[in-house]
Amino acid sequence: MRIWQENTEVGPRPGRMSPLGATFDGAGTNFAVFSEVAERVELCLFDEDGAEERVALKEVDGFVHHIYLPDIGPGQRYGYRVHGPYRPERGERCNHHKLLLDPYAKAIEGDVVWDEALFPYHFDAPGRRNDLDSARYAPKSVVVNPFFDWGSDRPPRTPYHETVIYEAHVKGMTKTHPAIPEAMRGTYAALAHPAMVDYFVTLGVTAVELMPVHQFVDDHVLVQKGLSNYWGYNTIGFFAPHNAYCSSGQRGEQVQEFRSMVKTLHEAGIEVILDVVYNHTAEGNHLGPVLSLRGLDNAAYYRLSDQDPRFYWDTTGTGNSLRMNHPHTLQLIMDSLRYWVTEMHVDGFRFDLAATLARQFHEVDRLSSFFDLVQQDPVISQVKLIAEPWDVGDGGYQVGNFPPLWTEWNGKYRDTVRDFWRGEGGTLGEFASRLTGSSDLYQNDGRRPYASVNFVTAHDGFTLRDLVSYNDKHNEANGEDNRDGENHNRSWNCGAEGPTRDRDILALRSRQQRNLLTTLLLSQGVPMLLHGDELGRSQHGNNNAYCQDNELAWIDWPNVTEASELPEFTRQLIALRRKHPVFRRRRFFKGRAPRDGRTGEKDIAWFTPAGHEMTGTDWETGFARSLMVHLNGKAITEPDARGLRVEDDSFLLLFNAHSQALGFTVPEELDPWWAVEVDTAIPYTEYRPLIKSGSKVEVEARAMLVLRAHQEG
């Protein structure tokens, strides 16, 4: 071990307490790290052979320890050692034998090599402090080059009501794509490859929502089973792009490759939204490793048990929860968000288990400090903010309760649409509410229909194909005896569990997928597709593929021909939505005629299959599984983006979730002629004669029709 020797000319300088992290200025690097509990902090520098130099951070301002080192630049590996109290019973866990990642590291090299030295206790004596040195087994922080040529890059800033989100996994989306060079697959560069960009553009999506790309850790228990944390909800670096998704072997290059990906997607008009995990870290509970925050200042960063600070207060189901009422924890999160917007040019965030972020104490408080800070921040408040509005703590299901600036994953939409199409009774009223933007959840606090991010499937749960192919989960590959994952999936296998050669069942499954996609993409709100659903991707009944970094979870690009009609069907639906503002209104329906006298018709009306307006009794009929809705394009009252009032075609949507075909009578009081735009009973649009109002049209069992008002017969 070598000790850094101070020299008045070329040696360390005091440096600055801000910004936190390692900041290269072209001549040297400023290092700054927060720890209120530390008695002394050492900066550890590693050379190419792994030899370590230690530099004492003697300057401390506001509990920030800092130093400036000339001639230290991009590529330098480093970490911290904290000298201080080790009193777990008081929540203090300092141990200078543990090398710690910088919470503000912009890049991280390596992964955790699981060894006893990483833990605060000995495996054979859990009550005894572990002073084994962890440097050999811990990942290292890396100083990065902050400079990048963004050229003329500009955020697309797609309005919410015009947004179509595509939830994707960097590796799973690209790992088997034959048009992408094999060495590039599974990386940021692969996602920016022309084959992928063209695919997104042709499909019609406007935003790619990436599953976690912050540096994450493969859990010890998974590694022992020969598995890995594929999804990535196990963050250890809130500023660092995950290094395994980088196609280059150069240290720190993941930062520039990520930036290049964003720049390329922006050029195609596609926004980049990050799924972020600020509710917990990979250090887990009291039995977890010491990797970063735990060793820096355990009680400042984590919520500890009031009864016994040795233990963690956990509302995430992962072992710990970040302490959202501590100023430096809040600063860490806000600085991270701001960095990804200003330095990495991302367009928004989806917050995993966002209810935990609202917990200042024990209750979920929608006006907690975090949301106050976001509201007033001039940078973060201007991008898309999407909440997963629940966690596993008491009172954690908070759909509809986030502040007006936020949109939400609407879990009630998912559940209701699934129930309706699998034939559950008594769903008509709620189905109508979800279809029209969930005004019962979002209207009272001044939000718009696009506060609802609608989805039928997401990474967590069945894929679309599996949703119509399995009644039960089949997670045996996860090694937990099928105990993990959701048991109540609201799925229906259409008559056989899993693969089948029965043509009738296969036809029904295809029709159900088209029903669900059509409902999703023509509902008010912001639609979100799960990657590969439009390709018929299956996980063979696994509804919790978080640890399956293999063909089970990747898109099988070479074999997507089985669902060859589904991608085109999806493209046509997205194009229909994009063309007609009646499907993406900026305001809720009123259910009555506009006051400006432009039309005497209601903006929306609901009908029974017999063509009569729905009454209270009709809505409450438990056995009813069919209805019609008229969307009046002439009654759109809000101006478009240019401030001009627009009119649209009117549409009639006919839903039949019954097991038998039904005749629907087109109401006579509506437009006189109607053309078939979509029929989910068939995969391709084909010529159909116009339908006259007052006539009857048959809708196949478990199918829907989309009719557009036509000017002439």
**Catalytic residue annotation:** 352, 388
The β-bridge relationship of strands 207-210 and 165-168 is: parallel
DSSP string, 174-202: HTT-TTS-GGGTTSHHHHTSHHHHHHHHH
Q: What's 492's DSSP letter?
A: -
Report the distance separating Cα 631 and Cα 637, nearest Å.
13
Two tokens, residue 288: 């977890």
Instruction: Note whether 422 and 486 are within 8 A (CB).
Output: no
Instruction: Note whether 35 and 41 are within 8 A (CB).
Output: yes
**Beta-ladder partners of 56:** 42
Instruction: Note whether 269 and 201 are within 8 A (CB).
Output: yes
Report the distance separating Cα 185 and Cα 329, nearest Å.
36
Residue 164: closest CA among 653, 576, 684? 576
For 15-168, where are the E strands, in sequence order? 21-24, 28-34, 40-46, 52-56, 59-61, 64-70, 77-83, 86-87, 92-93, 107-109, 121-122, 125-129, 140-142, 165-168
What b/e string do you get for 542-562 counting C-beta neighbours within 10 Å, with b at 16 or more? bbbbbbbbeebbbbbbeebee
DSSP string, 561-607: GGGTHHHHHHHHHHHHHHH-GGGS-SS---SS--TTSS-SS-SEEEE
Residue 84 CA: distances (Å) to CA of 36, 92, 95, 200: 10, 8, 7, 52
Report the SS3 class of residue 205: coil
Report the distance separating Cα 278 and Cα 356, nearest Å.
9
Instruction: Note whether 9 and 21 are within 8 A (CB).
Output: no
